[in-house]
DNA sequence: GTCTATAAAGAGATAGAC
DNA sequence: GTCTATCTCTTTATAGAC
């Protein structure tokens, strides 16, 4: 693989593990097995590298979500598939964690992909829920946008609870919790 | 106020704004208006100061939650009061954000207060929900523990969405979303 | 493209005077 | 208790040779 790709891969891992503030150019180079001069030849500095890494991660996250949400089944079944997909729960969400990085939030260029990813995800889930409601699978009174926000929030908050507890259990319980609440909105015979 | 208290207050602010990794002893001293020697006289170092600061913040957070959850009203009313209480949404949760700090999670002494705070909160909410169910306010099939996890997760995830968006709006929508779902479990005439 | 040298600034303390 | 001096390592680059 090219040095450039190795650097992006290394940056993606470190941003996930230690965040933007906790990741140094030096650590990125060492993990990538690439020298200092090479890094500054391909990228103008830490923000530039982070931008490339975040963009790549956001793209993959979106594709992974789309695969579950565009699959077969009812709205609730597709959302269940998305929520219960295999995850490395204790590592958390590689995009959501950037939200706690003051230097990412302060830099519009770095924050944009984070903002766009969650905006897309909320819209996509709201679309699935609206579809389910219009098909009669879900109660007519269900608010697709608010419910979609709650579903995404449960995921992101589930990671927080799991990391606090040092265990994936609260994540699973939180997911069970929303799905249980959502089931009460399902129309019989849908 | 004593130098010791000033240092704790300064550390609490900085941990909230920049996290553990992003906070230096030097920054703590400067914000507190306290010299280097003084800081190392009162505290053994950064971890020691952080421990004192986190403990104080956890205590306050717990008291604020207890005030709403032990108030009057039905289970859903008390949970609504807790979720809708005034918050500086874009600042996020001062305890939840520590969950993204690798050095906090790696240090058992620093992680303990974070773990205990969320464990207490989940239990407390589960208790309120179980009470509501037993009083007939909520459907008998509602799972108090899973639902409590989902409610706490919505809060923590709501902060994530708000910071990503640069706006408090998604937080409010996520809260509306869970409360809407919870309303479907409310027993008529409760 | 990649390497090594250099460097100003900050992180995170320790030592000892006052 | 608080202050200043000192110290080692890391951060985040830039410069110029190969």
pLDDT in tens, B6-33: 999 999 999 999 999 999 999 999 999 9
Is residue B151 within 8 A of residue A177, CB to CB? The reply is yes
| pLDDT tens profile A26-35 | 999 999 999 9
Residue A72's Cβ-count burial label (10 Å; 0-12, 13-18, 19+) is exposed
CB–CB contact B150 A182 (8 Å): no
Looking at the partner chain, which of A97, A148, A184 has a beta carbon nearest the beta carbon of B185? A184
Residue B184 pLDDT level (bands cut at 50, 70, 90): confident
- Alpha carbons B26 and B28: distance in angstroms, whole number: 5
3-state secondary structure of B138: strand
CB–CB contact A147 B180 (8 Å): yes
Task: Mark B74-88 as b/e (b = at least 16 C-beta within 10 Å).
Answer: bbbebbbebbeeebe
Residue B134 pLDDT level (bands cut at 50, 70, 90): very high
Is residue B180 within 8 A of residue A178, CB to CB? The reply is no
| pLDDT tens profile B124-133 | 999 999 999 9
Q: Quick one: average pLDDT of B128-145?
A: 97
Which chain A positions have a beta carbon within 8 Å of B150's beta carbon? 154, 173-178, 180-181
CB–CB contact A100 B145 (8 Å): no
CATH 2.60.200.20 matches B58-183: no
Nucleotides on strand D with an atom closer than 7 A to protein CB? 1-5, 10-17
| pLDDT tens profile B62-86 | 999 999 999 999 999 999 999 999 9
Which chain B positions have a beta carbon within 8 Å of A159's beta carbon? 99
| pLDDT tens profile A59-118 | 999 999 999 999 999 999 999 999 999 999 999 999 999 999 999 999 999 999 999 999
CB–CB contact B154 A153 (8 Å): yes
CB–CB contact A143 B92 (8 Å): no
- Alpha carbons A184 and A37: distance in angstroms, whole number: 59
CA-based nearest residue to B141, from A138, A177, A83? A177
| pLDDT tens profile A119-131 | 999 999 999 999 9
CATH-assigned architecture of domain A56-183: Orthogonal Bundle (1.10)
Looking at the partner chain, which of B105, B175, B181 has a beta carbon nearest the beta carbon of A181? B181
CB–CB contact B142 A105 (8 Å): no
Query: Which of residues 14-73 of B have CB within 7 Å of strand D?
Result: 34-38, 40-42
Nearest residue by alpha-carbon distance to C1' of D12: A25
Which chain A positions have a beta carbon within 8 Å of B129's beta carbon? none
* Per-residue confidence (pLDDT) for residue A185, from 0 to 100: 86
Instruction: Give which of A161, A165, A169, A180 to mutate to test B binding, by max B Cβ within 10 Å.
Output: A161
Residue A100 C-alpha, separation from nearest chain B C-alpha, in angstroms = 6
Percentage of chain A surpassing pLDDT 90? Answer: 96
Is residue A177 within 8 A of residue B146, CB to CB? The reply is yes
Residue A186 pLDDT level (bands cut at 50, 70, 90): confident
Domain ranges of chain B: 58-183
* Per-residue confidence (pLDDT) for residue A181, from 0 to 100: 97
Interatomic distance B6 CA / C18 C1' (Å): 23
- Alpha carbons A7 and B71: distance in angstroms, whole number: 54
CB–CB contact B164 A96 (8 Å): yes
Q: Which residue of A has its CA nearest to B186?
A: A184
pLDDT at residue B190 tops 60: no
Q: Which residue of B has its CA nearest to A91?
A: B100
Residue B174 C-alpha, separation from nearest chain A C-alpha, in angstroms = 4
Phi/psi at B141 (5° precision): -80, -5
- Alpha carbons A50 and A41: distance in angstroms, whole number: 15
* Per-residue confidence (pLDDT) for residue B188, from 0 to 100: 75
* Per-residue confidence (pLDDT) for residue B109, from 0 to 100: 98
Instruction: Give which of B120, B177, B180, B184 to mutate to test A binding, by max A Cβ within 10 Å.
Output: B177
* Per-residue confidence (pLDDT) for residue A189, from 0 to 100: 63
pLDDT at residue B147 tops 90: yes
Q: Quick one: average pLDDT of A161-171?
A: 98
- Alpha carbons A12 and A6: distance in angstroms, whole number: 10
| pLDDT tens profile B86-133 | 999 999 999 999 999 999 999 999 999 999 999 999 999 999 999 999
- Alpha carbons B125 and B69: distance in angstroms, whole number: 8
Is residue B181 within 8 A of residue B174, CB to CB? The reply is no
For chain A, the distance separating the N- and C-terminal CA atoms, rounded to the nearest angstrom, is 50
Looking at the partner chain, which of B22, B114, B158 has a beta carbon nearest the beta carbon of A153? B158
């Amino acid at each position: 693989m090219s040095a450039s790709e190795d650097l992006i891969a290394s940056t993606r891992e470190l941003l996930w593990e230690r965040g933007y503030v906790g990741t140094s150019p030096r650590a990125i180079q060492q993990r990538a097995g690439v020298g200092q001069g090479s890094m500054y030849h391909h990228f103008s500095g830490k923000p530039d590298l982070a931008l490339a890494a975040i963009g790549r991660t956001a793209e993959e996250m979106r594709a992974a979500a789309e695969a579950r949400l565009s699959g077969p089944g009812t709205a609730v079944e597709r959302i269940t598939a998305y929520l219960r997909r295999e995850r490395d729960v204790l590592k958390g969400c590689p995009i959501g964690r950037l939200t706690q990085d003051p230097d990412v939030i302060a830099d519009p260029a770095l924050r944009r992909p984070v903002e766009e990813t969650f905006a897309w995800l909320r819209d996509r889930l709201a679309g699935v829920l609206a579809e389910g409601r219009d098909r009669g699978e879900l109660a007519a009174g269900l608010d697709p946008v608010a419910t979609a926000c709650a579903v995404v929030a449960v995921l992101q908050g589930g990671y927080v609870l799991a990391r606090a507890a040092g265990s994936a259990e609260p994540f699973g319980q939180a997911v069970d919790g929303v799905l249980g609440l959502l089931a009460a909105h399902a129309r019989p015979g849908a």
